[in-house]
């Protein structure tokens, strides 16, 4: 069966520090991968998506970047975090064709 792992579950970082959130998927090949953010009191927003290794598309301009070094690995990064980067970050995967998305447990990021 397919599973998605996201870590860490919670993270507290100072302003200006770097960030690396990792997401891995097991039990499937060539998934579409997504990074979402949910700011406090707001809805989910798509940040990045990837249809293959090294292929990253961004939906909104921001202080973050994403990479997909392997087929089932999706990384969200920042060189210098801002206060506005606080939020709940979710990774999701989806099989090829018109399939539902499956979400990780999320990372709650607090910037101090």
Partner 1 sequence: KNEVEQSPQNLTAQEGEFITINCSYSVGISALHWLQQHPGGGIVSLFMLSSGKKKHGRLIATINIQEKHSSLHITASHPRDSAVYICAGGIAGNAGNMLTFGGGTRLMVKP
Residues in contact with partner 1 by CB under 8 A are 32, 34, 38, 42-46, 49, 51, 57, 59, 88, 90, 92, 94, 98-103, 105-106, 108
Q: How far apart are CB 94 and partner 1 at their closest, in Å?
A: 5
> Residue 23 corresponds to which tokens in the numbers above?
């997401």
Q: How far apart are CB 82 and partner 1 at their closest, in Å?
A: 21
Give the separation between CA 92 and CA 5, rounded to whole angstroms: 10
**Between 50 and 78, CB nearer to partner 1:** 50
Q: How far apart are CB 8 and partner 1 at their closest, in Å?
A: 13
């Amino acid at each position: 069966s397919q599973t998605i792992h996201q870590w860490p579950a919670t993270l507290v970082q100072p302003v200006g520090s770097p960030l690396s959130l990792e997401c891995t998927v097991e039990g499937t090949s060539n998934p579409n991968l997504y990074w979402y953010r949910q700011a406090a009191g707001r809805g989910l927003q798509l940040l990045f998506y990837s249809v293959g290794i090294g292929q990253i598309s961004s939906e909104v301009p921001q202080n973050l970047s994403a990479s997909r070094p392997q087929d089932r690995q999706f990384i969200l990064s920042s060189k210098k975090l801002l206060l506005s980067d606080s939020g709940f970050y979710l990774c999701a995967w989806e099989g090829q064709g018109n399939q539902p998305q499956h979400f990780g447990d999320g990372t709650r990021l607090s910037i101090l």
